[in-house]
């Protein structure tokens, strides 16, 4: 549910009366019955509806609509609800008009009509029911906008899933997974399609020739057309994420074209493995597909997550990696053959060298083997995975990777459920900033050990809403991804450890990105007993920043910059690296237990404020810190030195006060690490 500001249309007295006559309470909701078009009517005929109240506990049969509000036209479009004209946005009106043509008469829950947008208490109550509303719906229509010939082709392309027969019985996603997967057949299929030897399941490269060729075909599209389709507004909104997550039977609808998401999600997974150029465009779709799947199998940790959908990813990842391995092997074989053909004629030109056929074969063969071994090392993990997979399938076993091992998946598939929610907060947006929290309310409540800290209340300020959301993440995850987000942008009017979720943020770094500045140390936190605005963590504050200057940006328009926000070069007495613009000379570098990257902090009385995350390295190959040489800050070597030093000092302090056998104690680092107060 997404309020449409600033162009909100005030209700007329008759519309207010409609809601007054159909009050909702407890677990009751309003539903809209859209009447079918009359036989003689055109598609543009007024939309006639009947609004009625239903009890969710009575299991009513209805559908739901997931869409982006958009804006009102002038004058606004209206639908007749119980003969009362109700203003709705142009996008909502277009969705109802197209769905009426597709479905005829149907019952639907749609927030713009079913919730009294001017009644704040009703909004709070109905938002709390949205998880049940979408999960109990028989179908959810994902409205992507009015169609065109281009979007019709893209929908046809996505709906043409021709690779399921290598994984599912009879190529049907509703059938069991094959006991023996057809890996080699899938390899041949992928190769033929990659090089266009057969009907392609990959989008065509954008060119005048390919565009002319596909214009007359309903199931082919170009890369640019597919990318534009994937980057629709729906995929970027916070409310649509929750709506999709709870829906069990989703259909993509674009214009008059409709396709089941149950099948399309497998094509998206295939494309993500088979088409590198679309990885950025496909990632948001992969995120919602796998997060919903993780939610449906009730897995909150990555190591507990296993499903046919994830196995399908692994299967095609293996196929594509095997293809690369054998493709480069074939290239080396061809090079080997060409080398022999070229060298053999010259063996008789210099008789005194006595070059014969066997010599040529041996020399070229040695070079070939060296190249082959080098290549094998580059692909060793894919090769091992391929061997294990083929062996287990060939003996008829239902092979699965161990639950704790997500080999063959991207790093963003290795995060916990709450970690995925953090990524969503970094990639989605809302018109009303507080909806960045409220739009996830049902998700967070259903996956929380304690959800009492979450309150949907539009009378709260943005800072208050974001504070309760951050406290919830700290409590549920016991990790500091939110602190790295807060260091990028903190919420105005809130402590520096509260992120501004309404801003564009980068997903927190981690070990999968090569960042582990505190060497996997547990996150420790507590709130100050006298000031709950102060967060107490464990760590240490290091050297002072002495230089801050902008990094040189690549002037090429298409060049990929290191971040969505320009990075700045920073330097201290012993290290250098990059950070954000807000870093200043005089700030300090801090390492905080549980954070995967260093942070820049600024003094604030007896506490410090988070300023920016940083990526640091030592100026020289080795730097002596506290008598010990360290190698790499980002891999935890500096933290190891600090941890070892603090433990040694703490042990000595205990000896000085008469504690015996202190060396034998298994110490929790929280006992001896220093407190850092963050305001």
Strands 106-109 and 28-34: antiparallel
Task: Say how many Å lie between the first and final Cα of the chain, rounded.
Answer: 34
Mean pLDDT is lowest, of 141-145, 315-319, 551-555, for 551-555
Beta bridge partners of 86: 79
Mean pLDDT is lowest, of 56-60, 406-410, 428-432, for 406-410
Do 642 and 593 meet the contact criterion of CB atoms below 8 Å apart?
no
Residue of 111, 107, 114, 30 lying closest to 61 (CA atoms): 107
Tokens coding 184: 């080699």
Half-sphere exposure of 469 (CA within 13 A, CB side): 37
Rounded Cα distance between 20 and 2, Å, is: 22
Rounded Cα distance between 478 and 670, Å, is: 14
In which band, very low, low, confident or very high, does the pLDDT at 388 lie, cut at 50, 70 and 90?
Answer: very low
Answer yes or no: is pLDDT of 562 > 50.
no
Beta bridge partners of 55: 28
Strands (DSSP E) found in 412-534: 525-527
More confident position, 46 or 451: 46
Mean pLDDT in residue range 111-138: 91
Q: Which residues contact 366 (CB under 8 A, 6 or more apart)?
A: none
Q: Which residues contact 600 (CB under 8 A, 6 or more apart)?
A: 487, 545, 570, 579, 583, 587, 588, 589, 590, 610, 611, 612, 613, 614
Answer yes or no: is pLDDT of 125 > 60.
yes
* C-alpha distance from residue 630 to each of 255, 303, 569, 636, 640 (Å): 60, 32, 22, 9, 9
Answer yes or no: is pLDDT of 305 > 80.
no
What pLDDT score was predicted for residue 546? 92
Rounded Cα distance between 1 and 92, Å, is: 12
Beta bridge partners of 589: 600
Answer yes or no: is pLDDT of 528 > 90.
yes
Answer yes or no: is pLDDT of 369 > 80.
no
Q: What is the pLDDT of residues 144-179, one digit of tens each?
A: 999 899 999 999 888 887 788 888 888 787 888 888
Answer yes or no: is pLDDT of 626 > 50.
no
User: What sign results for the dihedral spanned by CA atoms 564, 570, 576, 579?
Assistant: negative
CA dihedral 77, 79, 84, 87 (to 10 degrees): -40
* C-alpha distance from residue 465 to each of 349, 460, 495, 526 (Å): 84, 6, 13, 20
Q: What is the pLDDT of residues 5-44, one digit of tens each?
A: 333 344 555 788 888 877 877 889 999 999 999 888 888 8
Show the CA angle centred on residue 469, arms to residues 473 and 533, nearest 5°: 95
What pLDDT score was predicted for residue 557? 45
Give CA 46 to chain center in angstroms.
40
What pLDDT score was predicted for residue 206? 60
pTM (two decimals):
0.81
Answer yes or no: is pLDDT of 509 > 80.
no
Query: Residue 31 in 3-state DSSP?
Result: strand
What pLDDT score was predicted for residue 390? 38
What pLDDT score was predicted for residue 603? 92
What pLDDT score was predicted for residue 502? 93
Provide, rounded to the nearest whole percent, the portion of the chain with pLDDT above 70.
76
Do 435 and 457 meet the contact criterion of CB atoms below 8 Å apart?
no
User: Among the ranges 214-223, 272-281, 577-586, which has the highest mean pLDDT value?
Assistant: 577-586
What pLDDT score was predicted for residue 410? 55
Mean pLDDT in residue range 298-314: 75
What pLDDT score was predicted for residue 361? 63
Tell me the average pLDDT of the chain. 80
Mean pLDDT in residue range 522-527: 92
CA dihedral 282, 285, 291, 293 (to 10 degrees): -100
What pLDDT score was predicted for residue 621? 53
Rounded Cα distance between 305 and 406, Å, is: 9
Answer yes or no: is pLDDT of 193 > 70.
yes
Answer yes or no: is pLDDT of 365 > 60.
yes
Tokens coding 563: 């971040």
**DSSP secondary structure letters along 102-137:** HHSSEEEE-HHHHS-TT-HHHHHHHHTTHHHHHHH-
Beta bridge partners of 109: 64
Q: Which residues contact 657 (CB under 8 A, 6 or more apart)?
A: none
What pLDDT score was predicted for residue 341? 67
Tokens coding 70: 């958009």
Do 327 and 307 meet the contact criterion of CB atoms below 8 Å apart?
no
Answer yes or no: is pLDDT of 347 > 60.
no
Show the DSSP H helices in 247-379 as ranges: 261-274, 279-296, 308-343, 357-378
DSSP secondary structure letter of residue 547: E
Tokens coding 17: 């009366």
Q: H-helix or E-strand containing 172?
A: none
Answer yes or no: is pLDDT of 491 > 90.
yes
Cβ count within 10 A of residue 70: 19
Helices 223-230 & 149-159 angle (0-180, nearest 10): 90
Residue ranges per domain, the chain?
A: 13-143, 515-553+562-679
């Amino acid at each position: 549910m997404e309020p449409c500001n600033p162009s909100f249309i005030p209700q007329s007295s008759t519309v207010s009366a409609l809601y007054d006559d159909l009050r909702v309470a407890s677990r009751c909701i309003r539903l809209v019955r859209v009447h079918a078009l009359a036989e003689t009517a055109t598609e543009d005929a007024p939309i006639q509806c009947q609004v009625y109240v239903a009890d969710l506990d009575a299991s009513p049969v209805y559908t739901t609509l997931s869409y982006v509000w958009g804006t009102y036209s002038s004058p606004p479009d209206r639908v007749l609800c119980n003969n009362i004209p109700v203003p709705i946005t142009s996008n909502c009106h277009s969705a109802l008009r197209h769905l009426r043509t597709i479905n005829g008469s149907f019952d639907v829950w749609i927030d713009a009509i079913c919730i009294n947008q001017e009644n704040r208490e009703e909004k709070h109550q109905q938002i709390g029911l949205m998880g049940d509303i979408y999960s109990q719906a028989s179908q959810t229509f994902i409205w992507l906008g009015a169609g065109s010939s281009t979007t019709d082709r893209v929908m046809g392309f996505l709906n043409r899933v021709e690779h399921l027969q290598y994984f599912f019985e009879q190529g049907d996603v509703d059938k069991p997974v094959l006991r023996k997967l057809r890996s080699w057949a899938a390899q041949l299929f992928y190769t033929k399609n990659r090089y266009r030897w057969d009907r392609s399941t990959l989008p065509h490269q954008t060119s005048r020739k390919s565009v002319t060729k596909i214009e007359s075909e309903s199931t082919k599209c170009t890369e640019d057309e597919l990318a534009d389709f994937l980057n629709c507004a729906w995929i970027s909104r916070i409310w649509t994420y929750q709506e999709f997550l709870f829906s069990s039977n989703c259909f993509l609808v674009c214009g008059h074209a409709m396709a089941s998401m149950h099948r399309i999600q497998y094509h998206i997974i295939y494309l993500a493995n088979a088409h590198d150029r679309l990885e950025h465009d496909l990632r948001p779709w992969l995120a919602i597909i796998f997060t919903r799947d993780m939610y449906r199998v009730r897995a909150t940790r990555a190591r507990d997550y296993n499903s046919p959908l994830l196995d399908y990813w692994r299967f095609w990842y293996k196929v594509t990696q095997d293809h690369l391995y054998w493709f480069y092997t074939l290239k080396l074989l061809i090079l080997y053959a060409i080398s022999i053909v070229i060298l053999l004629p010259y063996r008789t030109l210099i008789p005194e060298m006595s070059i014969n056929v066997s010599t040529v074969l041996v020399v070229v063969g040695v070079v070939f083997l060296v190249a082959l071994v080098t290549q094998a090392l580059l692909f060793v993990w894919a090769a091992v995975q391929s061997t294990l997979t083929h062996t287990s399938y060939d003996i008829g076993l239902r092979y699965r990777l161990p639950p704790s091992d997500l080999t063959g998946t991207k790093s963003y598939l290795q995060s916990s459920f709450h970690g995925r929610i953090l990524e969503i907060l970094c990639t989605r947006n809302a018109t009303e900033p507080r909806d960045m929290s409220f739009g996830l309310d049902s998700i967070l409540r259903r996956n929380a050990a304690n959800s009492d800290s979450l309150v949907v209340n539009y009378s709260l300020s943005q800072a208050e809403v974001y504070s309760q959301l951050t406290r919830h993440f700290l409590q549920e995850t016991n990790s500091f991804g939110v602190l790295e987000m807060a260091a990028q942008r903190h919420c105005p009017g809130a402590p520096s450890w509260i992120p501004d979720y309404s801003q564009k943020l980068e997903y927190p770094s981690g070990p999968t990105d090569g960042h582990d500045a505190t060497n996997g140390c547990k996150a420790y936190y507590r709130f100050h007993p006298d000031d709950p605005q102060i967060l107490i963590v464990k760590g240490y504050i290091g050297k002072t920043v002495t230089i801050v200057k902008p990094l040189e940006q690549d002037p090429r328009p298409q060049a990929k910059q290191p971040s969505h926000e320009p990075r700045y070069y920073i330097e201290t007495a012993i290290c250098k690296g990059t950070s954000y613009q807000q870093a200043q000379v005089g700030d300090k570098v801090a390492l905080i237990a549980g954070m995967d990257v260093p942070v820049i902090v600024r003094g604030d009385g007896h506490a410090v404020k988070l300023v920016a995350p940083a990526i640091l390295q030592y100026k020289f190959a080795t730097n002596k810190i506290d008598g010990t040489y360290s190698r790499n800050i980002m891999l935890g070597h500096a933290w190891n030195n600090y941890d070892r030093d603090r433990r040694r000092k703490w042990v000595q302090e205990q000896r000085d006060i008469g504690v015996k056998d202190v060396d034998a104690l298994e110490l929790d680092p929280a006992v001896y690490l220093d407190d850092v107060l963050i305001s």
